[in-house]
């Protein structure tokens, strides 16, 4: 969906960026956000397939 709309998911690379994202979301009236986790036939997967990303 994101790429069809000429955008992409944000990539969080460390704890500091996680805190910055949380502050941004908490300061706005955003009710929903997609974090890139999805259910693929009863198995949760990340959209970023590289296993070496920040968790």
Nearest to 55 by CA among 39, 30, 36, 31: 36
CA distance 12 to 44: 19
Domains in the chain: boundaries: 3-46
| Predicted local confidence at residue 16, as pLDDT | 92
| Predicted local confidence at residue 52, as pLDDT | 66
**Local mean pLDDT, 10-residue blocks, the chain (55 residues):** 75 85 76 75 81 63
Predicted structure pTM score: 0.50
3: Cα separation from own chain's centroid: 14
Max Cα-Cα span within the chain: 35
| Predicted local confidence at residue 53, as pLDDT | 64
| Predicted local confidence at residue 54, as pLDDT | 62
CA distance 13 to 53: 7
């Amino acid at each position: 969906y994101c790429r069809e709309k000429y955008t992409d998911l944000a990539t969080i690379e460390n704890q500091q960026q996680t805190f910055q994202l949380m502050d941004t979301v908490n300061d706005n009236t955003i009710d929903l956000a997609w974090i890139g986790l999805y259910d693929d036939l009863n198995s949760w997967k990340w959209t970023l397939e590289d296993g070496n990303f920040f968790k």
